[in-house]
Amino acid sequence: MAILGGEVSSRADTLPQPPCGGAPFPPYPDLENSPAVRAWDRTESSRNWIPPACTGWTDSGFTILVAVVGRFHHASGAEGFLRRIGAISEHTVIRYWSTTHKRWQALILSAYALSDATGNRRREDFSPGEMAEGRSLYYQQEDNLVGKAIYRMRIRSASPDRLVFDTENIGIMRYLLLPMFPPGGMETITFLDRESQDVWRYYSIMRTSGNASQLTVGYDASFINRAVAFYRYLAGVPTDKEPPAAP
């Protein structure tokens, strides 16, 4: 499945290439048609997919892969993005289109920053100064479907013109006590590059591992809507803006 500027396509021939020294795929759309979204689900070739080296992902394969690519206006610079990214408690404002219930609903039920990976000590949101290149930060959030999990966020690059960060669950994610994703089973990496004074390019890949539960298969549209919700949140677009990416 692929969605490009609101158009749905079934082509799945070329796998994603993030902006790491070469032309990205999918390519960046223009401002008016952002974001472009493309998804790949489990196939014979998906088990052997080797992630691009710049992702830092060492395991091969995936169950589902979603790329969200866009351009948008942003006047607050890299520090404004760091403040937004570090505001973990604000994840509860994110809404997405539920393809099951056919309505907009909360994606994250609760979210807060943690002092370490144990999950025993809550703290205030992360400040831009704490989000230095090379840092690993931890937070817990409760997804409306897969429940509570602790996540690690790594700041891969932090400069005035480029931000790169990734997230992954570090504990088992469950739905109604059933294991859905093993540790590291849901990963996202996001690249933000300044194009001009107030225009930024956004490229994000989300994947679920090849070891994910079979119960996650067939929910491509739901993963697309979730990935687009985070794009909208970071871009400052209402997350429940009509139309949904995947109705």
pLDDT of residue 11 exceeding 70, the answer is no
Q: What is residue 45's predicted lDDT score, i.e. its pLDDT?
A: 66
Domains with residue ranges and CATH for the chain: 2-235 (3.30.530.20)
Q: In this structure, are residues 57 and 190 in contact, taking their beta carbons and an 8 Å threshold? A: no
- CA atoms of 177 and 77, how far apart (whole Å): 42
> Is pLDDT of 219 > 60?
yes
What DSSP letter does each residue of the chain carry, written as one string? -EEETTEEE----S--B-SSSS--BSPP--GGGPPEEEEEE--TGGGG----GGG---S---SEEEEEEEEEE--SHHHHHHHHHH-GGGGGG-EEEETTTTEEEESEEEEEEESSTTS--EEPPPPGGG--TT-EEEEEEEETTTEEEEEEEEEEEEETTEEEEEEEE-S-EEETTEEEE-TT-EEEEEEEEE-SSSEEEEEEEEEE-TTS-GGGTT-HHHHHHHHHHHHHHHHT--TTPSSPS--
Highest-scoring range by mean pLDDT, 28-42, 76-90, 161-175: 76-90
Q: In 10 A of CB 48, how many CB atoms? A: 10
- pLDDT for 27 equals 96
pLDDT at 10 over 60: no
Average pLDDT of the chain is: 88
Residue 83 or 184, more confident: 83
**Is the confidence at residue 215, as pLDDT, over 80?**
no
Largest CA distance in the chain: 48
Q: What pLDDT was estimated at residue 120? A: 87
CA distance 75 to 125: 22
Write out pLDDT tens, residues 127-151.
999 999 999 999 999 988 777 899 9
Tokens describing residue 151: 């996540």
Question: What is the average pLDDT across 157-185?
Answer: 86
**What per-residue confidence (pLDDT) applies to 180?**
75
User: In which band, very low, low, confident or very high, does the pLDDT at 240 lie, cut at 50, 70 and 90?
Assistant: very high
pLDDT tens for each residue of 55-112:
999 888 888 899 999 999 999 999 999 999 999 999 999 999 999 899 999 999 999 9
Q: Is 10 exposed, middle or buried (0-12, 13-18, 19+ CB in 10 A)?
A: exposed
